[in-house]
Amino acid sequence: MNLPKATRTVRLSNPEGLHLRAATVIAEVARRYRSKVALHKGSQRAEATEVLQIATLGAAQGEEVVLEASGDDAEAVLDTLVDLFHGGFGHEEDEK
Amino acid sequence: MQKLQGIAVSPGVAIGEALVMDNEGFRIPRRFVTRDAVDDELERLEAAVEAAGAEIAHNREAVARELGEKYGAIFEAHLQMLQDSRLRSELHEMIRERHYSPEYAVSRTLRRYAQVFQRLESSYLAERVYDIFDIEKRLLRHLLGRRREGLSHLSSPVLILAHNLTPSETANLDRKFVRGFATEMGGPGSHTAIVAEALEIPAVVGIGPFLAEVSGGDTVIIDGDEGVVVLQPDEETLARYRHEVEEKTTLAARLETLRDLPAVTADGVPVELFGNIEFPYEVEHCLDRGATGIGLYRTEFLYLGSATEPTEDVHYQAYSGVVRAMGDKPVIIRTFDLGADKVPHLRPPEDERNPFLGLRSIRLALRNLPMFRTQLRAILRASVLGKVRVMFPLISTLLELRQAKMVLADVMEDLDEKGVPFDRNLQIGMMVEVPAAVMMIDHFVKEVDFLSIGTNDLVQYTLAVDRSNRDVVSLYNSADPAVLKLLTWAIAAAEGAGKPINLCGQMSGNPIYTMLLLGLGLRRMSVTPSAIPEIKRVCRSVSIDQCRAAAERAMGMENARDIKSFLREEVMRNVPELGL
Q: Give the max Cα distance, chain B.
A: 86
From the list B81, B85, B124, which residue is nearest A16 (CB)?
Answer: B124
Nearest to B290 by CA among B502, B455, B513, B537: B537
pLDDT at B188 over 90: no
* Structural domain boundaries enclosing B97: 35-147
Phi, psi torsion values for B499, nearest 5 degrees: -105, 135
Confirm whether B158 is domain-assigned: yes
Q: Are A55 and B117 in contact (CB < 8 Å)? A: yes
Assign A45 to helix, strand or coil: strand
Residue B400 lies in a domain: yes
Give the per-residue pLDDT at B218: 82
Would the pLDDT of B150 be above 70? no
- Say whether both B438 and B353 belong to one domain: yes
Q: What is the dihedral of CA B516, B517, B521, B525, to 10 degrees?
A: -160
Q: At B221, give phi and psi (nearest 5°).
A: -120, 130
**What separation in angstroms does the CA of A56 have from each of A41, A59, B6?**
10, 8, 38
Q: Is the pLDDT of residue B502 over 80?
A: yes
Mean per-residue pLDDT over chain B, rounded: 89
CA–CA gap between residue B364 and residue B158 (Å, rounded): 38
H/E run at residue B161: strand B158-162
pLDDT in tens, B454-498: 999 999 999 999 887 778 888 999 999 999 999 999 999 999 999
Closest Cα in chain B, distance from residue A39 (Å): 15
DSSP state of B30: -
Q: Please give the positions of B annotated as active site.
A: 191, 504
The H-assigned helical ranges of B359-480 are 361-367, 369-382, 398-418, 435-439, 441-447, 455-463
Q: DSSP letter at B270?
A: B
Gap between the Cα atoms of B126 and B361, Å rounded: 41
CATH number at residue B134: 1.10.274.10
Q: Please tell me the predicted confidence (pLDDT) of residue A1.
A: 59
Give the strand pairing for B27-28 and B158-162. unpaired
**Torsion sign (Cα): B305, B158, B209, B188:** positive
- Residue B420, pLDDT > 80, answer yes
Residue B307 lies inside a defined structural domain of this protein: yes
Chain B residue closest to A96 (CA)?
B71
Distance from CA of A52 to the nearest CA of B (A): 5
Cα–Cα distance, B517 to B558 (Å, whole number): 18
For residue B8, pLDDT beyond 80:
yes
DSSP SS3 for B206 = coil
The sheet that has A5-11: what strands, in order across it? A5-11, A64-70, A36-41, A44-47
Q: Is A50 on the interface with B (CB under 8 A)?
A: yes
CB-based contact, A57 to chain B, within 8 Å: no
DSSP B528-559: -GGGHHHHHHHHHH--HHHHHHHHHHHHT-SS
- Could you tell me which chain B residue has the CA closest to the CA of A49? B84
With CA atoms as reference, the chain B residue closest to A61 would be B122
CB pair distance less than 8 Å for B73 and A53: no
Report chain A residues whose CB lies below 8 A from the CB of B80: 23-24, 27, 50-52
Count of other CB atoms within 10 angstroms of residue B416: 12
Query: DSSP labels for B215-241?
Result: -TT-EEEEETTTTEEEES--HHHHHHH
Residues B191 and B330 in one domain: no
Q: Which of A16, A20, A36 to mutate to test the interface with B (most CBs of B within 10 A)?
A: A20
Q: Which helix (H) or strand (E) holds B199?
A: helix B191-199
pLDDT of res. B121: 67
Q: Classify strands B427-432 and B450-453 as parallel, antiparallel or unpaired.
A: parallel
- Work out the minimum CA distance from A70 to partner chain B, whole angstroms: 19
Which chain B residues have a beta carbon less than 8 Å from that of A53? 84, 86
Q: With contacts defined as CB-CB under 8 Å, which chain A residues touch B121?
A: 58, 60
Q: Strand, coil or helix: what is B127?
A: coil
Of the pLDDT bands very low, low, confident and very high (cuts 50, 70, 90), residue B123 is: low
% residues pLDDT > 70 (chain B): 94
Contact at CB, B117 and A50, closer than 8 angstroms? no
In terms of pLDDT, which residue wins out, B151 or B570? B570
Is the pLDDT at B136 greater than 60? The verdict is yes
Same-domain pairing of B243 and B346: no
Q: What is the total count of domains within chain B?
A: 3
- Given a cut of 90, is residue B315 above it in pLDDT? yes
For residues B335 and B266, membership in a common domain is answered with yes
Q: How much is the pLDDT for A92?
A: 47
B254/B58: higher pLDDT: B58
Evaluate whether ipTM surpasses 0.85. no
Nearest 5°: the CA angle B376, B378, B380 is 70
- Do B137 and B232 belong together in one domain? no
Quick one: B135 and B113 in the same domain?
A: yes
Q: Is B128–A52 a contact, with Cβ atoms under 8 angstroms apart?
A: no
Q: Is some CB atom of chain B closer than 8 A to the CB atom of A20?
A: yes
For B168, half-sphere exposure in the C-beta direction (CA atoms, 13 angstrom radius) is 9
Question: The CATH number of the domain where B18 resides is what?
Answer: 3.50.30.10
What is the distance in angstroms between the Cα of A20 and the nearest Cα belonging to chain B? 6
The pLDDT value given to residue A14:
81
Distance CA B223, CA B201 (A): 10
The residue in chain A having the minimum alpha-carbon distance to the alpha carbon of residue B77 is A24
In a 13 Å sphere around the CA of B121, the CA atoms on its Cβ side amount to: 7
Q: State the pLDDT at residue A95.
A: 38
Amino acid at position B292, single letter: T
Q: Which of B218, B249, B280 is the last residue of a domain?
A: B249
Residue pair B501/B274 in contact (Cβ under 8 Å)? The answer is no
Contacts of B127 in chain A (CB under 8 A): none
Closest CA to B190 of B395, B314, B355: B355
Q: Which segments in chain A show pLDDT lower than 50?
A: 92-96
CATH number for position B469: 3.20.20.60
Q: Are the beta carbons of B122 and A17 separated by less than 8 Å?
A: yes
Q: Assess A55–B contact: CB distance below 8 Å, yes or no.
A: yes
> Is residue B388 located within the same domain as residue B515?
yes
Q: Which of A16, A50, A95 sits opposite B84 (nearest CB)?
A: A50
Cβ pairs A/B, distance under 8 A: 72
- The reported pLDDT for the residue numbered B26 is 64
Q: What is the pLDDT of residues B534-580, one digit of tens each?
A: 999 999 999 999 999 999 999 999 999 999 999 999 999 999 988 76
The stretch B281-286 carries a mean pLDDT of 92
B183 and B237 part of one domain: yes
Contact status, residue B459 vs residue B477, Cβ threshold 8 Å: yes
- End-of-domain residue from the set B125, B147, B169: B147
How far apart CA B295 and CA B480 sit, in angstroms, is 24
Find the CB nearest B81 among A18, A49, A51: A51
Contact, B388 vs B331, CB < 8 A? yes
Clarify whether residues B509 and B386 are in a common domain. Answer: yes
Inter-chain CB proximity B73 and A17 less than 8 Å: no
The answer to whether the Cβ–Cβ distance between B128 and A24 falls below 8 Å is no
Contact A60 B73 (CB under 8 A): no
From A4-8, B8-12, B102-106, B189-193, the region with the lowest mean pLDDT: B189-193
The reply to whether residue A50 touches residue B85, judged by beta carbons under 8 angstroms, is yes
Nearest to B113 among A16, A50, A56 (CB): A56
B116–A47 C-beta distance less than 8 A: no
Question: Distance between alpha carbon B448 and the CA centroid of its chain, in Å?
Answer: 29
B214, B16 Cβ separation under 8 angstroms:
no
Average pLDDT over residues B420-437: 97
In a domain, B271, yes or no: yes
pLDDT at B31 over 80: no
Q: What residue ranges in chain A does DSSP mark as E strands?
A: 5-11, 36-41, 44-47, 64-70
pLDDT at position B149 = 54
Res B14 pLDDT > 60? yes
pLDDT per position as a tens digit, B212-229: 777 777 899 999 999 999
Q: Is residue B30 part of a domain?
A: no
Q: What is the least distance, in Å, from the CA of B24 to any CA of chain A?
A: 22
Whether B119 contacts B140, CB under 8 Å: no
Residue B382 · residue B319 · CB < 8 Å = yes
Residues of B in contact with A39 (CB under 8 A): none
Statement to judge: residues B228 and B176 lie in one domain = yes
B224-282 tens-digit pLDDT:
999 999 998 999 999 999 999 998 888 888 888 888 899 999 999 999 999 999 989 89
Do B60 and B21 belong together in one domain? Answer: no
How far apart CA B283 and CA B192 sit, in angstroms, is 19
Supply the pLDDT for residue B255: 81
User: What is the amino acid identity at position B287?
Assistant: L
Model pLDDT, residue A94: 41
Among the partner-chain residues A17, A23, A56, the one whose CB lies closest to the CB of B124 is A17
Determine the distance in angstroms separating the CA of B109 from the nearest CA of chain A, rounded to an integer: 12
How confident is the model over B64-118, as pLDDT tens digits? 887 777 777 778 888 888 988 889 999 999 999 989 889 888 888 887 887 787 7
d(CA B460, CA B47): 56
Domain boundary among B130, B147, B164: B147
Does residue B263 lie in a domain region? Answer: yes
B128 contacts in A (CB within 8 Å)? 19-20, 55
Residues B434 and B572 in one domain: yes
pLDDT in tens, B376-412: 999 999 999 999 999 999 999 999 999 999 999 999 9
Q: Are B143 and B110 in contact (CB under 8 A)?
A: no
